[in-house]
């Protein structure tokens, strides 16, 4: 059987899609064999923990809990509730929960201008942050570990510049310029909290400050901190602002440290907690995954719009957590048995759970907790006993749940009658629960590679059809009426030299030439390229430039080709149209030009007049679009007749 060309193309397309999906699923797979590859190390480590902690009973020892808050974005221009409710968090929530540690993982201030586009450090915002933390007295009862985010690094020339208010107005800034470690030993549990500061130096204004960067010095510091943490603590909790998918590591001839590998190389590393992505605007509220090295990566929803915070605990060597909205009580966290989705073989003494005698639950409220009840079938309920503080325990028979996934149901009531209900899956035989696909994609892929792929794909879409059609003597046949018309218009446009070459040459310019030259930091002129940014004699490989260019390609350059096709068709066949109808026929170009003017205006607000004037990506493309539109509508009559003859030439 002879296959048609369309069938061959379709099969080839399916093959490419299959290869792409196979590679994607492999990159985001969580059912990896990390534990098997490191089985001996894992067994030795978990055996050590099991011997240290002993049997899980109703003891109030061997448990520690801490809080995380992220992306506070204190602003003097918008949403005063961020400030007032952050003050409530420090005054009430932290004191009610009484954690050993509070992690504030970046974007402490908003650092955005009133127009929401310009960006620079605002001293008043830092003073608000400093005063709230200090005047609440929260640092008297707990340890406050804060670290910078990309907003805390906007428009900062050097880490030692006056504009780096983190040094003077944060809790840790005067002691730690960048990454650091803090050790705590409480209630029989020793933990190292290792903070990763991946803010680039210098810090550009937005939007080119989205990706974190670990230079050689910072990589060496993190290696040193990790080695010290392994010798001083049984558990390591890593924290930072950027997810690992949004962190680049510079490399030299000697070495390059991959943060994921560095975290995963220590058996004591349980988790990396971060913020930055704001749960993708609430679309991915549970952005959690298990990285291939066997540890958890957990992005926390922002305080800015969603008022989220996280309670986490290490109980007899097992890590547990729950994310909660501010002022929603009671707050409940089951620490034994551990949640089935988040078990970490080789990193936790999971063998202690089947031998445990008690279910263990942390329950908090801003008033007294009245009852904590549990059930395995939601029919018969048992009341837990309060031991000390927030710990509630209940005797159980784990041998009844030895195989598969089971569910523990928890109801907590406080004295105001408020109720919290928790459905808690657990397993005693290691049965796996999968993570959702979208969090795995966002946390396990490399954002830089994704941005490059999107930019490259849109660049090909912009020029490849035109180049291919230009090589064709006749427009390719297509059965669909509208598809045939579009292909014919594209084919005709590809034959117009004065349009074809500018489009192709501009597309060829984008991956190599500068997109803008101007003051990227106050007082310092730099150049933006697709592949990075040059400023102050330094090269910053900021992959977000690819995403910025992708916006131009998607909303301007690719639509421009179709708008010019429409204009060419009007020039060839509708030259007799006059008046209002002529204006209506040019509305697509007017709409496209409006988008370009808006994008250029935004760029001017972000980076100033010089960048606007010397901006081939945003500003100069407006002139190019106007020129191509004018040339298309004013093709000489003889040129038009020759184009029409091409469509009449027999194949």
Average pLDDT, the chain: 89
Last residue of a domain, one of 443, 463, 489: 443
- Digit-coded pLDDT (tens) for 499-539: 999 999 999 999 999 999 988 888 889 999 999 899 887 88
Both tokens of 247, joined, read 């962190």
Shared domain check, 525 and 462: yes
Q: Which pLDDT score, from 0 to 100, does residue 34 have?
A: 59
100 lies in some domain: no
Q: What band does 4 get if pLDDT is binned at 50, 70 and 90? A: low
The mean pLDDT of 115-133, rounded to a whole number, is 92
Shared domain check, 463 and 531: yes
Q: Which pLDDT score, from 0 to 100, does residue 516 have?
A: 92
Three-state DSSP class for 220?
A: helix
Both tokens of 518, joined, read 């101007």
Token pair 């993190």: residue: 222
CB 396 within 8 A of CB 375: no
Q: Which pLDDT score, from 0 to 100, does residue 574 have?
A: 61
CA–CA separation, 569 and 228 (whole Å) = 70
Shared domain check, 506 and 372: no
Handedness of CA 331, 337, 343, 344 (dihedral sign): positive
Enumerate residues 6+ apart whose C-beta is below 8 A from 534.
Answer: 526, 527, 540
- The pair phi, psi for residue 451, each rounded to 5°, is -60, -45
Q: Which pLDDT score, from 0 to 100, does residue 495 have?
A: 87
Q: Which pLDDT score, from 0 to 100, does residue 21 have?
A: 60
Enumerate residues 6+ apart whose C-beta is below 8 A from 389.
Answer: 60, 98
Q: Would you say residue 28 has pLDDT above 70?
A: no
Q: Would you say residue 131 has pLDDT above 90?
A: yes
Shared domain check, 411 and 348: yes
**Total structural domains within the chain:** 2
160 lies in some domain: no
Instruction: Report in angstroms the alpha-carbon separations of 528 from 25, 457, 509, 531, 616.
Output: 34, 21, 13, 8, 10
Instruction: Report in angstroms the alpha-carbon separations of 376 from 387, 389, 406, 419, 424.
Output: 22, 25, 8, 18, 10
Shared domain check, 452 and 439: no
Q: Would you say residue 132 has pLDDT above 90?
A: yes
Shared domain check, 461 and 429: no
619 lies in some domain: yes
Shared domain check, 492 and 395: no
Q: Would you say residue 262 has pLDDT above 70?
A: yes
Q: Which pLDDT score, from 0 to 100, does residue 650 have?
A: 53
Q: Which pLDDT score, from 0 to 100, does residue 25 have?
A: 60
Q: Which pLDDT score, from 0 to 100, does residue 340 have?
A: 94
Q: Which pLDDT score, from 0 to 100, does residue 546 have?
A: 92
Q: Which pLDDT score, from 0 to 100, does residue 1 have?
A: 45
Shared domain check, 452 and 592: yes
The mean pLDDT of 149-164, rounded to a whole number, is 92
Last residue of a domain, one of 443, 467, 500: 443
CB 348 within 8 A of CB 107: no
CA–CA separation, 238 and 226 (whole Å) = 10
Shared domain check, 413 and 494: no
CATH number where 341 lies: 2.60.40.10
CA–CA separation, 497 and 470 (whole Å) = 10
The mean pLDDT of 5-14, rounded to a whole number, is 61
Q: What band does 651 get if pLDDT is binned at 50, 70 and 90? A: very low
CA–CA separation, 329 and 174 (whole Å) = 35
489 lies in some domain: yes
Shared domain check, 475 and 439: no
Shared domain check, 542 and 511: yes
113 lies in some domain: no
Instruction: Report in angstroms the alpha-carbon separations of 133 from 140, 154, 272.
Output: 10, 22, 24
Q: Would you say residue 271 has pLDDT above 60?
A: yes
CA–CA separation, 204 and 155 (whole Å) = 5
475 lies in some domain: yes
Q: Which pLDDT score, from 0 to 100, does residue 476 have?
A: 73
Three-state DSSP class for 320?
A: strand
Token pair 């996280």: residue: 310
Closest CA to 148 of 323, 281, 276: 276
596 lies in some domain: yes
| Residue 567, domain extent | 447-648
Last residue of a domain, one of 417, 443, 469: 443
Identify each DSSP E strand in 300-404 by its residue range: 308-315, 318-325, 331-336, 358-364, 369-375, 382-383, 385-388, 391-395
Shared domain check, 428 and 454: no
- Digit-coded pLDDT (tens) for 362-390: 999 999 999 999 999 999 999 999 999 99
The mean pLDDT of 239-245, rounded to a whole number, is 96
291 lies in some domain: no
| pTM of the complete model | 0.90
- Digit-coded pLDDT (tens) for 273-297: 999 999 998 899 999 999 988 999 9
Instruction: Report in angstroms the alpha-carbon separations of 269 from 65, 126, 263, 291.
Output: 16, 32, 6, 12
CB 556 within 8 A of CB 595: yes
């Amino acid at each position: 059987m002879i296959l048609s060309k369309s069938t061959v193309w379709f099969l080839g397309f399916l093959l490419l899609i299959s290869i792409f999906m196979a590679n994607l699923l492999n990159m985001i797979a969580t059912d990896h064999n990390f534990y098997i590859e490191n089985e001996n190390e894992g067994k030795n480590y978990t055996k050590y923990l099991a011997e240290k902690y002993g049997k899980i009973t109703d003891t109030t020892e061997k448990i520690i809990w801490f809080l995380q808050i992220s992306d506070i974005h204190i602003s003097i221009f918008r949403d005063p509730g961020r400030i007032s409710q952050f003050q409530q968090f420090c005054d009430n929530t932290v004191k009610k929960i009484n954690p050993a540690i509070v992690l504030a993982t970046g974007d402490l201030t908003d650092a955005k201008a009133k127009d929401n586009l310009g960006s620079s450090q605002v001293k008043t915002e830092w003073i608000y942050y400093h005063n709230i933390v200090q005047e609440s007295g929260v640092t008297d009862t707990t340890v406050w570990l804060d670290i910078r985010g990309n907003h805390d690094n906007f428009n900062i020339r050097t880490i030692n510049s006056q504009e780096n208010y983190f040094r003077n107005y944060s809790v840790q800034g005067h002691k730690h310029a960048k990454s650091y470690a803090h050790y705590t030993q409480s209630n029989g549990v020793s933990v190292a909290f290792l903070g990763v500061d991946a803010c680039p130096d210098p810090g550009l204004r937005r939007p080119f400050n989205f990706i974190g960067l670990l230079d050689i010095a910072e990589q060496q510091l993190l290696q040193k901190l990790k080695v010290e943490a392994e010798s001083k603590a049984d558990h390591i909790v890593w924290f930072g602002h950027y997810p690992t998918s949004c962190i680049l590591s510079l490399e030299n001839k000697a070495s390059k440290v991959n943060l994921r590998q560095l975290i995963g190389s220590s058996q004591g590393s349980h988790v990396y907690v971060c913020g930055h992505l704001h749960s993708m605007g609430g679309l991915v509220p549970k952005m959690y995954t298990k990285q291939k090295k066997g540890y958890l990566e957990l992005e926390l929803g922002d305080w800015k719009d969603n008022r989220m915070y996280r309670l986490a605990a290490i109980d007899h060597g097992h890590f547990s957590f729950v994310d909660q909205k501010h002022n929603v009580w009671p707050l409940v966290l089951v620490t034994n048995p551990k949640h089935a989705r988040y078990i970490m073989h080789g990193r936790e003494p999971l063998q202690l759970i089947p031998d445990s005698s008690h279910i263990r639950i942390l329950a908090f409220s801003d008033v007294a907790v009245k009852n904590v009840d549990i059930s395995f079938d939601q029919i018969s309920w048992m009341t837990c006993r309060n031991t000390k503080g927030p710990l509630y325990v209940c005797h159980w028979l784990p041998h009844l749940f030895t195989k598969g996934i089971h569910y523990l149901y928890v109801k907590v009531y406080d004295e105001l009658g408020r109720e919290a209900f928790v459905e808690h899956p657990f397993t005693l035989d290691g049965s796996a629960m999968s993570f959702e696909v979208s969090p795995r994609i966002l946390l396990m892929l490399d954002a830089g590679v994704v941005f490059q792929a999107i930019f490259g794909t849109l660049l090909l879409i912009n020029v490849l059809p035109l180049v291919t059609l230009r090589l064709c003597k006749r427009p390719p046949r297509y059965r669909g009426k509208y598809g045939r018309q579009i292909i014919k218009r594209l084919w005709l446009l590809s034959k117009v030299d004065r349009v074809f070459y500018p489009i192709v040459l501009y597309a060829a310019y984008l991956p190599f030439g500068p997109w803008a030259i101007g003051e990227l930091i106050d007082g310092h002129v730099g150049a933006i390229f697709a592949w990075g940014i040059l400023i102050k004699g330094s090269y910053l490989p900021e992959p977000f430039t690819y995403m910025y260019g992708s916006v131009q390609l998607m909303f301007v350059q690719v639509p421009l080709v179709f708008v010019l096709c429409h204009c060419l068709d009007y020039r060839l066949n509708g030259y007799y149209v006059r008046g209002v109808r002529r204006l209506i026929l040019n509305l697509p170009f007017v709409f496209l030009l409006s988008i370009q003017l808006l994008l250029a205006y935004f760029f001017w607000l972000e980076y100033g007049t010089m960048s606007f004037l010397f901006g081939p990506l945003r500003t100069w493309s407006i002139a190019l679009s106007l020129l191509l539109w004018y040339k298309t509508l004013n093709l000489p009559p003889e040129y038009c007749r020759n184009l029409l003859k091409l469509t009449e030439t027999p194949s």
